[in-house]
Amino acid sequence: MVGSSTIAGKRVVEFAQGLGLTASLLLEESPASYTGVESDADAVEVTRSAIEDRGDMVVASAQETGLASGAADIVVGEAMLTMQGDSTKKQIIDEAARVLDADGRYLVHELCLVPDTLDDSVKTEIRKDLARPIRVNARPLTVAEWSQLFEASGFEVEATELRPMALLQPKRIIEDEGVLGVARIVGNLLRDPDARTRVLAMRKTFTTHEDRMSAVGFVLRKR
């Protein structure tokens, strides 16, 4: 959904870039500049090592980046809003709107619940099942609910794409982390029974609710 023509020559800001996988992919598309915003100082150092001198990093929250208004043509958020409560979601989306220049784009990938008509009791059940293993009050939304949230912060939905859930699937993990990264993850899980239990519980939740959960991508234009 997002190609090199979208990124090339643009000022790109990424919220919560984690360990820098998306940063490396974005930099391959020749942006005019790249700035990552991450509250975890250790993750910032990992990303700095990965991207070297090809971009900048800021230690700050996505709710309050400290960047100038209109500093970006594109803001990217990868699987971060789902894990936030409603008020924090709104703060992050508002910050994306502030940082974007006129007619800028906000590119978002998140979890969603399907279909839009899903019963509220089922939504609650899925959210509780997600919250237990990850110990965070995860709140995936339906496509309609995500759209309403973005529109309330001044965005227009240009494109939406649904894809099957692939988180914690071996093929997806290898694609995201590489063979050495997977080996490191497996080693950590073998040494940490609590983490292993939580990962297995998360995968069980995704499998149990696979017909009601999806990955969703949005291309949002700042109005």
What pLDDT, in 10s, does the model give residues 65-114?
999 999 999 999 988 898 888 999 999 999 999 999 999 999 999 889 99
Helices (H) and strands (E) in the chain, counts: 8, 8
155 and 218: one domain? yes
50 and 111: one domain? yes
16 and 72: one domain? yes
pLDDT digits (tens, 9 = 90+) for 1-46: 554 458 999 999 999 987 788 898 899 999 999 999 999 898 898 8
147 and 102: one domain? yes
98 and 193: one domain? no
Question: Concatenated DSSP letters for 41-58?
Answer: HHHHHHHHHHHTTSSEEE
Total count of residues recorded for the chain: 223
Per the model's pLDDT, the better-predicted residue between 220 and 167 turns out to be 220
> Which domain covers residue 32, as residue numbers?
4-165+212-222
161 and 175: one domain? no
161 and 176: one domain? no
- pTM of the full structure: 0.82
SS3 state at 119: coil
Structure-token pair, residue 201: 């519980």
| Residue 67: half-sphere exposure toward Cβ, Cα within 13 Å | 32
The angle at the Cα of 38, spanning 4 to 41, to the nearest 5 degrees, equals: 130
CATH code of the domain covering residue 60: 3.40.50.150
Q: Are strands 213-222 and 141-142 parallel, antiparallel or unpaired?
A: unpaired
100 and 180: one domain? no
**Per-residue model confidence (pLDDT) at position 201:** 59
155 and 176: one domain? no
60 and 108: one domain? yes
- Give me the helices (H) in the chain, please: 4-7, 21-27, 41-51, 86-99, 120-134, 143-152, 170-191, 193-208
pLDDT digits (tens, 9 = 90+) for 43-69: 898 889 889 999 999 999 999 999 999
182 and 102: one domain? no
Q: Is the dihedral of CA 194, 198, 203, 208 positive or negative?
A: positive
**Per-residue model confidence (pLDDT) at position 175:** 45
Number of domains in the chain: 2
71 and 30: one domain? yes
